[in-house]
Amino acid sequence: MTFDYYLNIAVSGVLTGLVYGLAALGLSVIFGVVRVVNFAHGEMMVAGMYGAVLLSGFLGLDPILAAPIVAAVLFGFGWLLQRGLVNRFVERPEHMQFILLLGIATIILNAMLMLFGPDSRNVQVPYGFDTVELGPLLLDAVRLRAGAGAIVVAAALFAFFRFSRTGKAIRACADNPLGARVVGLNIDGLYALTFGIGAGVVGIAGALMTLLVDARPQLAPEYTLLSFIIVIVGGLGSLPGALFGGVLIGLSEAMAGFLLAPSLKSLFSYVVLIVVLLLRPQGLLGKRS
């Protein structure tokens, strides 16, 4: 009986962790290629959440169906942001990139606060209270769908980078920007595309997240930090690492929330981060540079 209990909590932690991992994938893609840390990541994720809330409120769309639309809008935003502002900071010192994106994050966060107010908004889905029984497991239908959605999008992203011509070109940029330029790749265009993809992916993660959590502007800085923790725990620049890190953090949050106290669950993520930074600074699946 107690074992089933733990198993249930572990599995729902893993499912939530998959959505965290998807958000972190977006961050990892941007950092791995453009070498800029997107400090507005959580803000973009919450923007994705509000996108799903609006589409569900006005058109009655399920968050899973809203996700592609949200992704398209955020892709455009990310593309423009890279083209218009971030691109001229690529060669600048880290702290300046950080300040720029901090400014952008502040603008997005407070624009959302002004538009939607500080209260939480949620989406209504017909399967909101359904559960699925799998052997000893009793899982929420929403969590199962969110986790499955995250896996599908992550798989599509891996396939894109592995097999498509554009994906290979982006990886070439990440490995050696100078060499990529020498063989005739349009670096600035690929950077904009990458930033757009990263923003679109985190938008989808946000849309899926509305199945699990109510949207509030205040979530944004938390999600930014969470994505960072995950990427660093998993390994900067490693895509499987980001997904794995997400699952690990989701699992540890769920366990800490259950075993200790819900208010201590984020403390646990920071402890994991500090331990990983000390013992394996390149991350669990990262390569030593």
Among residues 45, 67, 229, 285, which is the contact residue for another protein, using CB under 8 A?
Answer: 229
Span of 16-24, 51-59, 251-259, 265-273 interacting with another protein by CB under 8 A: 265-273
**Phi, psi dihedral angles at 131 (to 5 degrees):** -130, 155
Span of 8-16, 104-112, 180-188, 199-207 interacting with another protein by CB under 8 A: 104-112
DSSP output for 19-37: HHHHHHHHHHHHHHHH---
By C-alpha distance, which of 26, 46, 10 is closest to 143? 10
Binding track, positions 44-83, relative to another protein; x by CB under 8 A: ----------------------------------------
DSSP output for 165-210: HHHHHHHHHHH-HHHHHHTT--HHHHHHHHHHHHHHHHHHHHHHHT
The reply on whether position 274 binds another protein by CB under 8 A is yes
Element (H, E) at 140: strand 137-140
List the beta bridge partners of residue 215.
121
The reply on whether position 275 binds another protein by CB under 8 A is no
The reply on whether position 271 binds another protein by CB under 8 A is yes
Reduce the DSSP state of residue 138 to 3 states and report it: strand
Among residues 92, 162, 168, 287, which is the contact residue for another protein, using CB under 8 A?
Answer: 92
Provide, rounded to whole angstroms, the least separation between the CB of residue 54 and another protein: 18
What DSSP character marks residue 139? E
Reduce the DSSP state of residue 131 to 3 states and report it: strand
Whichever of 179 and 262 has its CB closer to another protein, that residue is 262
Tell me, what amino acid is at 84?
A: G
Please give the residue ranges that form the binding site for another protein (CB under 8 A): 37, 85, 88, 92, 94-96, 98-100, 102-107, 109-111, 113-114, 117-118, 217, 221, 225, 228-229, 232, 263-264, 266-267, 270-271, 273-274, 277-278, 281
